[in-house]
Amino acid sequence: MAIIQGWLPPTRAHYELILKLWQFSYPVFGSCGWLFAWKGMGGKLPAPSRFNMPGRVAWLTMEVPGFLTLLYIMRTLPQQHGIHDLPWQNRVLGGLFVIHYAYRAVLFPLLQPSVAPIHVFTWSLAIGFQLFNATCLGSWLAAYGPVTPEAWAAQAPLPQFALGIAVFYVGLAGNFFHDEELREIRRREQRRQERIRKSAGPPPSSSNDTNGTAARKVVEKHYEIPQAGLFRYVLFPHYFCEWIEWTGFLIAAGWSCAPAWAFLVNEISAMLPQAVNGREWYVDKFGEDKVGKKRAVIPWVW
């Protein structure tokens, strides 16, 4: 059953229109990051605003619609086109998308020791990103891309498919590893403050902060220059690894997969200005000498 007749799941003509919009509109939005030093997600403590949403709720609600949409389209669209059994490659690629977003949408906000608020404008852009992306990739995987073994042999022969999957997993592992390094900075600080609180004894009776709320706020604002892994060379290796991940997906889907190209280009156009602005933030906070030769996001390049 269609959620919106002709649009969700989309007919081929609507898919092509949505894909065009996705290819041309989001790189423009993303590139606005070069003009305004806004922070797309998380944010180094965005300015207080009544339009800020609690970080964990915002992450979950803006990222979950993506993989649910993709699953819905892959479940409904093939039947509409008389496709009874999708090739295993379509299922594997759909599965990789779900694995990534199960982490990003559900585990990530739960694992973070603290999550900065997110402005409702950023939240809306992120939901738009998810819906466009999942509709285009999902429709391509469900009916409008290769849907027979013969079509796959021409689209991405097995060695290319296998290479793409390997690159995807290297990127996913790297993304998780560097996210984890940032989490560990906050956990370390939390442990340090707990030790100090314990050794200082109970708070004075006049204090209202018996639950350590003030200490948690300090932890939320605690930043260090991370050092592990690729953080030795760049300040946003988690972004770089995410790009490797989706490059792997593109290799596996085949170089002519327009939705996989659009996804990669749109991610880079949104995240590159954030990383470059982010490097400036590190220089302002810690000084040029502490940041040293670390680049923003691509080792030895940018």
| Closest distance of CB 225 from ligand NAP, Å | 6
Of 177, 223, 233, 261, the one binding ligand NAP (CB under 6 A) is 223
Q: Which residues from 240-259 bind ligand NAP, rule CB under 6 A?
A: 242
CB 241 within 8 A of CB 268: no
Binding mask 163-202 for ligand NAP (x = CB under 6 A): ------------x---x--x--xx----------------
Distance CA 138, CA 11 (A): 12
* 224 touching ligand NAP, by CB under 6 A: yes
Interacting positions 112-131 with ligand NAP (CB under 6 A): 112, 114-116
Smallest distance from ligand NAP to CB 30, Å: 8
Which of these ranges, 5-13, 42-50, 149-157, 158-166, lies near ligand NAP under the rule CB under 6 A?
42-50
Considering only 8-16, 21-29, 137-145, 220-228, which stretch makes contact with ligand NAP by CB under 6 A?
220-228
Which of 8, 18, 19, 41 touches ligand NAP by CB under 6 A? 41
Longest CA pairwise span in the chain (Å): 76
Phi, psi of 48, deg, nearest 5: -60, 135
* Interacting residue with ligand NAP among 119, 141, 142, 238 (CB under 6 A): 238
In three-state form (DSSP H/G/I as H, E/B as E, the rest C), the secondary structure along the chain is CCCECCEECECHHHHHHHHHHHHHHHHHHHHHHHCCCCCCCCCCCCCCCCCEECHHHHHHHHHHHHHHHHHHHHHHHHHHCCCCCCCHHHHHHHHHHHHHHHHHHHHHHHHCCCCCCEEHHHHHHHHHHHHHHHHHHHHHHHHHCCCCHHHHHHHCCHHHHHHHHHHHHHHHHHHHHHHHHHHHHHHHHHHHHHHHHHHHCCCCCCCCCCCCHHHHHHHHCCCCCCCCHHHHCECCHHHHHHHHHHHHHHHHHCCCCHHHHHHHHHHHHHHHHHHHHHHHHHHHHHCHHHHCCCECCCCCCC
Q: Which of residues 6-35 bind ligand NAP (CB under 6 A)?
A: none
The nearest distance, CB 39 to ligand NAP, in angstroms, is 7
For the beta carbon of residue 185, count every other beta carbon within 10 angstroms.
Answer: 18
CB of 63 to ligand NAP, least distance (A): 9
Q: Is position 228 an interface residue for ligand NAP (rule: CB under 6 A)? A: no
Q: Does 277 bind ligand NAP (CB under 6 A)?
A: no
CA dihedral (194, 196, 197, 202) positive or negative: positive
By CB under 6 A, residue 268 contacts ligand NAP: no
CB 275 → ligand NAP: shortest distance, Å?
9
Residue number with CB closer to ligand NAP (146 or 226): 226
The residues binding ligand NAP (CB under 6 A) are: 40-45, 112, 114-116, 175, 179, 182, 185-186, 220, 223-224, 226, 238-239, 242, 267, 270-271, 274
